[in-house]
Amino acid sequence: MIISHFSVSDKITILVARCNFKCKYCFFKPFREIDIDVEKLIKITKKLRKQFKLNKIMIAGGEPTLEKDLPEFVKLLKENNFYVIISTNGYYLCEMLHKLEADEIHIDLKALDNKIHKKLTGSSNKKILKCIEYIGLRKNRLPFRVEVCTVYIPGIVEINEIRNIAKFLSKWDLHYRITGHVPVTLNVRRPTRDELLFAKKEACKYLSNVTSSLDFKRHKPSQIKINPEEL
C-alpha cells in the first residue's frame, strides 16, 4: 500500500497517499509516498496498538480503494482483532465491496447535485450514487455498518443540498453524518453552530439516524513518523 503517514487520536489512522479526486476544500496533503507491504503494516499497527492502547483503526487518505491490497490488509487487521473503519469517496468502492471485511465503511458524498460535485472534486458523482443505492438495497445483508458523510460548506453545500441528500438516503434509511467545513485550502467560513444544528434537524425529518460534528468530542491527531529505512 502507498502510505503517506500515520496519525493517532482516539484511534489509529492510516492515510494513503493517492487520490482520484481533486477536492477544492481538502485539508489532506500527502507528506510522502511510502510503499509498505501489508505484513509490515500489520507489524506497525500492532506496535502502535501496544504503545497507545488503541484498537480502532481508520484507513483514510487520500483514497483507500485505489490500493489493490486493501482487502488483504483489512482481512489481516480483523484476524489480529482490530476494529476497522474505511473512509472512502465511494468512487471505486463497489468494485471491491464484497472483499472488504471492515466493521464500518464511511462514504463521503460531497453533493447530490452533480454540478456541485464536479465543481468541488472535478469528477461526476454518478458511480458514487449507484454504489450507495447498491449498498442501501443490501444494507441488512452486509457485514459492516455504513455511514454517509457530507461536509457543510456555506454558500456551496448548503441546507437545501443536505436536505436533498437526506431525502435520497431515506429510501434505505442509511446513517448520515454532517460535518462542518474547516477552512484550510478553500477560503470559505465554517458553518455556525446554529447552521449545523438546523441542518441536522432538517435531515432528521427524513432519516432516523443523523449526527453532526457537534455530537463528537474533538481529538487532535498527532502525526506518527515512520522511517522507511527501518521497515
The pLDDT tens digits for 45-86 are 999 999 999 999 999 989 999 999 999 999 999 999 999 999
Q: How many whole angstroms separate alpha carbon 88 and alpha carbon 106?
A: 6
Q: Give the confidence band of 228 by pLDDT, cuts at 50, 70, 90.
A: very low
Question: What is the reported pLDDT for 33?
Answer: 86
Q: Where are the domains of the chain?
A: 2-226
Measure the CA dihedral 175/17/46/52, to 10°: -70
Q: Chain centroid to CA 225: how far?
A: 22
d(CA 225, CA 231): 12
**The three cell numbers locating residue 117:** 460535485
Q: How far apart are the first and last CA of the chain?
A: 13
Please report, to the nearest 10 degrees, the dihedral formed by the alpha carbons of residues 35, 91, 215, 172 taken in order.
-140
Model-level pTM? 0.92
| CA 192 – CA 79 distance, rounded (Å) | 42
Q: Which CATH architecture has domain 2-226?
A: Alpha-Beta Barrel (3.20)
